Structure 1
Amino acid sequence: MYLIFVMTGVLLYSSITRTVFNLPLVWSVEFSQFTMSAYYLLGGAYAMLMRGHVRMDLFYDTWSSRKQGVIDAITDLCLIFYLVVLLIGAVSSIEYAVQYNQVARSAWGPPLAPVKIVMGLGILLMLLQSISTFFKDLAKARGKSIV
């Protein structure tokens, strides 16, 4: 959660140097994008753990606990499939970035391997949390509880 403060500080610093000193920074926006990506990807698994994701519960609250568990387990399986595909792509992208020393095509030109590694780590953590949530929802669908 502290990455938000880092990103805000960098953007504030960039704004001050641009307006007060007429000195634009070539790295600030891209660095902020990398910081926000890390925040978003690493925070996804934590939000799942805390059940903090927004849920549309037009019908959900009226269903029995078992039916909620069944629907949640099906949704978890879809999410797990999606995250596995993302992880395969992330690993491929990380391998490419490391092997060829890939850099961003910008004036700053930072190496992309660190941000892609963070991306892969975030996807992996969310996949692990999704698997854990799947088993909890499966138990709920069977009428049991896993804490």
Structure 2
Amino acid sequence: MPRFLVRYVQIVETINRTFGRVAMYLLFVMMGIMVWSMITKFAHIPALWTLEMAQFTLVAYYMLGAPWTMQSEVNVRMDLIYARFSHKGRALTDALTVFFLMTYLGIMLYGAFDSTVYSYTYNERNPTAWRPVLWPLKSIITFSFALMLLQATALLIRDIATLRGEKI
């Protein structure tokens, strides 16, 4: 494989691994928020922001962790037939099906970007008592779809290298 493609895969996977490891700690942030919610409820001064903030943190956790999950290949697969394929057979199957994934991610990225721009332009807020602005969360979602699309491209490059008998 050309050096620039190998370097591309290395850079994308380093970025996704870094964001995935950071996202891993968002569970502790969410637990802290929920503990604070419990404490304030016992003190009879419930905080309005805790439930939504926990939900937003969970969204960030899932979305920022998704590219790392793709990279690590720990996502759930229905591999009734796939498991019986050879290493190159799996690479061929993955190389063909990744185009569907990339199409889906491209459409999702387009929609997420459009929604983020709208949210930022009009200062969109969640219609609740706390009324937080939504553009930060939507920005994280957009960024995550971009990372997933980059990771799908890196997976395609890896699969092509496998089919050529090379290893990245």
* TM-score (norm. length: structure 2): 0.81
- Alpha carbon RMSD of aligned pairs, Å? 1.2
Partner of 2:39: 16
Aligned length in residues: 145
Aligned-pair CA distance for 1:91: 0.9
- Kindly report which structure 2 residues correspond to 1:1-147, keeping only aligned pairs within 5 A, or say none: 1-18=24-41, 20-140=42-162, 142-147=163-168
Q: For 1:130 and 1:146, how far apart are their aligned partners in 2?
A: 17
> In the alignment, residue 60 of structure 1 is paired with which amino acid?
Y
Q: For 1:58 and 1:16, how far apart are their aligned partners in 2?
A: 48
Q: For 1:62 and 1:107, how far apart are their aligned partners in 2?
A: 54
> In the alignment, residue 17 of structure 1 is paired with which amino acid?
T
> In the alignment, residue 69 of structure 2 is paired with which amino acid?
A
Aligned-pair CA distance for 1:6: 0.3
Measured against aligned partners, the alpha-carbon deviations of 1:59-109 in whole angstroms (never above 9, x if no partner) come to: 222112222112111221111100000000011001101111111111000
SS in 2 for 1:23: coil
SS in 2 for 1:44: helix
Q: Greater helix percent: which structure?
A: 2
Identity level (%): 38
Q: For 1:118 and 1:146, how far apart are their aligned partners in 2?
A: 32
SS in 1 for 2:108: helix
> In the alignment, residue 70 of structure 1 is paired with which amino acid?
L
> In the alignment, residue 28 of structure 2 is paired with which amino acid?
F
Q: For 2:143 and 2:167, how far apart are their aligned partners in 1?
A: 26
Q: For 2:93 and 2:117, how far apart are their aligned partners in 1?
A: 36
Q: For 1:145 and 1:84, how far apart are their aligned partners in 2?
A: 28
Q: For 1:31 and 1:145, how far apart are their aligned partners in 2?
A: 46
